[in-house]
Every structure is written in structure tokens, then in C-alpha cells.
Amino acid sequence: MRELLHDAHGRRISDLRVSVTDRCNFRCQYCMPAEGLPWLEREEVLRFEEIARLVSLLVGLGIEDVRLTGGEPLVRRGFPALVAMLAAIDGIRDLALTTNGYLLERDAGALAAAGVGRVNVSVDSLQRDRFFALTRRDALPRVLRGIEAVAAHPEVRPIKVNAVAMRDFTEAEIARFCEFARSTSFQVRFIEFMPLDGDRAWRPDAVLSGAELRAAIEAIHPLEELPREPAATARVFRFADGEGEIGFVNPVSEPFCADCNRLRLTADGKLRTCLFSLHETDLRGPLRAGADDGELAGLIRGAVWRKELKHRVGEPGFRPPPRTMSAIGG
């Protein structure tokens, strides 16, 4: 019987986030500077076959859920072909995608046919001018069309809309997002602003906490909490009258490290055991040097065993990782 991945803290590791590119067609203020960031060279980025081999190996070690991220994954040429390669791996229970939605209208049919099971779309404002101010792209109508395009495929469920919550910005979005959640089948989730921005401008008082958001929403619509699944990142609430769902992902104010089950594979083949890891394990180098599956599995097991107990955001001496969010993968 295979030995499943566990870390030194007794947590079973079963979730993998795979960044397929560090490139993005948006310049969101909480993520990267207006001028962008230096991109990886093409030869530094894992090829589809390399991603598929590593994912297959990790699934053999107990990974069950795989989420594809970026950067913006849909800017990677031929991306649906990678989805199909991964969907064919026996043992993946859930194959998901996180996207900014800009190219989703173009690719929705191909992604559904390739095997994407569920989709998260980043939408930080439902007002066109404010969406432009935050993302530096006038793209809200196109993103909303993309959401509708993927929703036309009933095999892709659920579809979630993610909004990064930032003080002095998101407060004005609360009522609109509530009505969006209540009038559609899409779950809206607010994610606390984390110290992973390219401008290194994060500060604690810029975080609009999940508790504050929940209080503001309950002043308009009473909420009922739904049971939390083990290792889930979000606390999910249903509107008390039964219309729609709202989720809160609170990594800063309510860390969920105790039952974290996640690993991250960067676009250049580094294994990260925490979003805020200061250290990485190189898998691309050994892979390209001819390492066999046993050698790669040994590297993975060693990295997982050293997985951090918690991320320490907000504690004295906390240091943000050298990589920013777009280079890590959401």
C-alpha cells in the first residue's frame, strides 16, 4: 500500500495548486506594479509534459485535488491541452481553475470539454470604473461575459467569484456583491488582502477583515453559517432567506493553518509548502537531469515533512516571501 504524504505536524497533504505561468494580462494593485514584473524566460517554465509527470507523481503520493493557477493561466498558449492531460490522470478527484476571466469567454467550451470541473473567477468590483481602477484594465463586461460563458456548461460547477477585500475600497462593493450572489448561482467569496503584492505596499491596516465584512453584510441580510469542510479555506454562509451564498477567506485575521493540506508547484518547477514559504524545493532541475520517480518522490516527501506549522503573518519578525503572488500561484 502506498504511503500517503504527511507532514511532521500530522497533516495529510492532498491538495496541489499548480501555477502554469507567471504572466498576467491584468495589473491588479494588490498583486503587481502597473509596469508589470520581470517574466520567467520560456525555457525556465515547465513544459506541459513536465507538469503532467509531476502531477501524476504527486497524485500517486496522495494528492487528490488539483487547482490550475497563474499568473493568469489562460494566457499560456494551448492551455486546454494541459487540462486534458491532467484530467486523464487516474486519482484526481477535483480539477479546478482560478482565472481573472478575461479570456474565459474564448476558452470556456474548450476548458469544459478538456475536463475542468469547477472555476473561480477573480472580480474585485462590480462597477466598471472601480474595476478599472483596481485592475488597471477596462475589462469588467468581458469578464462577466466569460463567467456566463462557462456557466453555460452545467458540468462545470460550482463557479465562485473571488474578491480581494481592501479597506477603503471594498466597503462600497458589499451591497452589489450581495445582490450578485442572491440573483445568480455563483458563490461570492471575499479574500483578505495578504502581504504578497508586487509593490510591497501591504500594511495591516489595509486589511478589511472577514469579520468586518460579515457584520456589514448581516446589517443588510442575515446569514446562516454552513458546515466547514476539513481543510477548507473559506467559511461559507447562506443568506437566511435561502437566496445565495457568501464566503470569507480570512488568512490574516483567522488563519486556517492547523488543517492546511496544500502544496504549490510554481511555473518554474519549485515546490512550495506554504503560500508564505521562504524556502522552496527545486523539482525542475532534477527532473531535467534525468531523476527517476523514486528520486523525485524522495525530494517531495522531504519537502512535505518540513512543511511550516503556520504562516506567521502578523507576528513579530514576519518576513514576506521573495516571490509575489503572481509568481507563486493563487
CA distances from 238 to 154, 192, 226, 241, 245 (A): 22, 19, 7, 8, 4
Give residue 10's pLDDT.
96
Q: What percent of the chain has pLDDT over 70?
A: 98
pLDDT in tens, 43-65: 999 999 999 999 999 999 999 99
Query: Is a pLDDT exceeding 90 seen at residue 205?
Result: no
Q: What is the DSSP string of 106-164?
A: HHHHHHHHHT--EEEEE---SSHHHHHHHHSS--HHHHHHHHHHHHT-TTS--EEEEEE
Q: Is the pLDDT of residue 330 over 90?
A: no
Task: Tell me the pLDDT band of 106, cut-offs 50, 70 and 90.
Answer: very high
Summarised one tens digit per residue, pLDDT across range 247-273 is: 999 999 998 899 999 999 999 999 999
Going by pLDDT thresholds of 50, 70 and 90, the confidence category of residue 225 is very high
Query: Can you tell me the distance from the alpha carbon of 19 to that of 330, in angstroms, rounded to the nearest whole number?
Result: 8
Nearest to 327 by CA among 263, 251, 264, 266: 266
Q: Residue 198: is its pLDDT beyond 70? A: no
pLDDT for position 324: 75
- Phi-psi label, residue 136: left if phi above 0, alpha if psi -120 to 50, beta otherwise: left
> Using an 8 Å Cβ cutoff, are 246 and 217 in contact?
yes
Pairing of strands 15-19, 65-69: parallel
Q: What domains, with CATH codes, occur in the chain?
A: 15-328 (3.20.20.70)
Instruction: For residue 286, give the amino acid letter.
Output: P
In degrees rounded to 5, what are phi and psi of residue 169? Answer: -135, -55
Supply the pLDDT for residue 146. Answer: 98
Residue 325 has pLDDT above 80, yes or no: no
pLDDT at position 320 is 80
Q: Shortest CA distance to 94 belongs to which of 229, 248, 286?
A: 229
144 Cβ contact list (under 8 Å, min separation 6): 101, 123
pLDDT band at 163 (very low <50, low <70, confident <90, very high): very high
How far apart (Å, rounded) are the C-alpha atoms in residues 278 and 211?
A: 29
Q: Which DSSP string corresponds to 7-73?
A: -TTSPBP-EEEEE--S--S---TTTS-TT--PPPPGGGSPPHHHHHHHHHHHHHTT--EEEEESS-G
Q: Which of 189, 186, 246 is nearest to 222 (CA)?
A: 246
Residue 167 in this model has a pLDDT that exceeds 90: yes
Which of 169, 127, 98, 131 lies closest to 26 in space, CA to CA?
Answer: 131
Q: Which three cell numbers, joined as nine digits, stand for 243?
A: 437566496
For residue 1, pLDDT over 60 is answered with: no
Q: Residue 316's pLDDT is what? A: 77
Q: Residue 249: helix, strand or coil by DSSP? A: strand
